[in-house]
Chain A
Amino acid sequence: MRSKYLQIDHVDMEFTTKQGRFLALKDISLSVEQGEFIALIGHSGCGKSTLLNLIAGLLAPSRGAMLLAGREIAGPGPERAVVFQNHSLLPWLSCYGNVYLAVEQVFGAREPKAQLRERAEQALALVGLSHALHKLPHEISGGMKQRVGIARALSMQPKVLLMDEPFGALDALTRAHLQDELMRIVGETGSTVVMVTHDVDEAVLLADRIVMMTNGPAATIGEILEVALARPRERLALADDSHYNHCRAEVLRFLYERQRRPQAA
């Protein structure tokens, strides 16, 4: 039986728009184990980012409940760190400054300054950016910015790391590189991760389970696919792996046969 570290229980999300009420998510139930890597996949507009924002606490569900480590999720907090799609670094702070702001906020009350500094430096070292500590965000590449975003999130030592299409805006090579890095980091830290993606390969490569969502409105979880591939995973070796290809085909089938892209989109 799965231990329920993160638990989403019959959650609905309804938005009030000018055209009236809009039911974005309907009856979402999901349990995530500690240390598990979950990929949320679906067509654009299916509400996968909404689900992530619900877990983050940036949105409050209309119905249902969410628990993390036995405590109800009520509002955002650093134990559910978010890596935003567009990195969301503060442009007037250096890479170090951006991470330090998070470290200071989470550990500042308990730890001396030297230790905070060390935490920030360690987080940036983990993503391989020790050489760019004092660069400003506009001075580094898109991939590096996203690394800083990941470092900032990890520096908070979150219970669960939430990632909203973190590599969506990057070119394919950089994306592959960062995916490998993320696998290494998650292997080292044992983080629990929920990642929104629309990239089938990314989902299969990274995730322990792939949560496939139906098209909105009233989107819900259509299918959950277990990716039983041993770790560490090697991108090149997987290309010929039958289970990898099976999983890939399953997700593609779900997305393009059962949930055809909505015509409006």
Chain B
Amino acid sequence: MSAVIVSDNRTGGEVVPLQQAAANEPAPATPGSAPSTAVPRRIGAALAGGLRAGLPPLLGLGLFVLLWALLAQGNAQLPGPGRVWAAALEIFADPFYSNGPNDQGIGWNVLSSLCRVGLGFGLAALVGIPLGFLIGRFAFLNAMAAPLIALLRPVSPLAWLPIGLLLFQKADPAATWTIFICSIWPMIINTAVGVQRVPQDYLNVARVLNLPEWKVFSRILFPAVLPYLLTGIRLSLGTAWLVIVAAEMLTGGVGIGFWVWDEWNNLKVESIVIAIVVIGLVGLALEQGLLLLARRCQYENR
């Protein structure tokens, strides 16, 4: 298979354990001190450790906001942190209002984007995962599919949007179609690679036991491929969340992408900044949720 599998091992913000941080503390000045002082000292060390772990991210965020405020100072059109905060309070006071199809709360917009992503992604999983298994299991199918995948995978999913509009004659399914297209590649590729990397030993065990094909699948192939599959799902969902914003800007309707465009047309730049943060937070939540799931399905393979 010519395609490259991307398996990043980002573990999220890793926090130094407190005890370890405390152990790094310099020795106290009074070595022969009474045990009663040990407890507050340990609390102090823990606090210092927590501070040390929490300080860099806070500092980074603070610097970012400061820079932003400075930039906004020099440019009247760019809203500063204060203005955005005030606008956010207003927006999040009622995130689920609905005044007709073109004026809905941010909550509805995020939810409908998530629905589209869920639908497109779900359909892609339904097609892509079995296809990945087949491609991984049969070299002939792999040879058939490899050039197609190599050709189509680098194409921006938005290029497929007009085809979707043509096929479905409606904006909403066209956006879902775009999500389907961009989600399917990582799932096919990761599943296929996972199947190809199932150790021969496991398959020999299956052969010696004369396991029927469905049991080979359920007891050996599926659990062996699951970690690869989850990586595929995580990459797909990440891409889908990237693409939905652009797709909705083009198709309109209800959705966070459309909302961004709508607020731009209303010249409410504060809302756009808020949308950026919300999109980031939702994407982060999706990624972390899937990482958590992947960690639970990880068996130690030694």
Contacts and interface: CB of A to CB of B under 8 A. Distances in A.
Main secondary structure of the interface of B (DSSP, over half): helix
Nearest to A105: B209
A48 interface: no
Interface in B192-240: 199, 201-202, 204-205, 207-211, 215, 219-220, 223-224
B300 interface: yes
Interface residues of B, number: 19
A206 B299 CA distance: 36
A31 interface: no
Interface residues of A, number: 26
A58 interface: yes
Contacts of B210: 76-78, 105
B302 interface: yes
B208 A101 contact: no
B36 interface: no
A136 B299 contact: yes
B301 interface: yes
Contacts of A93: 219
B140 to A, nearest CB: 19
Given A90-B219, A101-B219, A81 B299 contact: no
Contact of B223 (A58, A90, A105, A137): A90
Main secondary structure of the interface of A (DSSP, over half): loop
Given A58-B207, A58-B208, A92 B202 contact: no
A43 interface: no
Contacts of B207: 57-58, 75-76
B202 A90 contact: yes
Given A136-B299, A138-B299, A138-B300, A88 B209 contact: no
A80 interface: yes
A159 B139 CA distance: 35
Most buried by A among B209, B211, B219, B302: B209
11 contacts: A56-B208, A58-B204, A76-B210, A78-B209, A78-B210, A86-B201, A88-B202, A88-B204, A90-B220, A90-B223, A136-B300
Interface of B: 199, 201-202, 204-205, 207-211, 215, 219-220, 223-224, 299-302
Which are the 9 A-B pairs with shortest beta-carbon distances? Answer: A138-B300, A88-B201, A92-B223, A76-B207, A91-B299, A105-B209, A92-B299, A76-B208, A91-B301
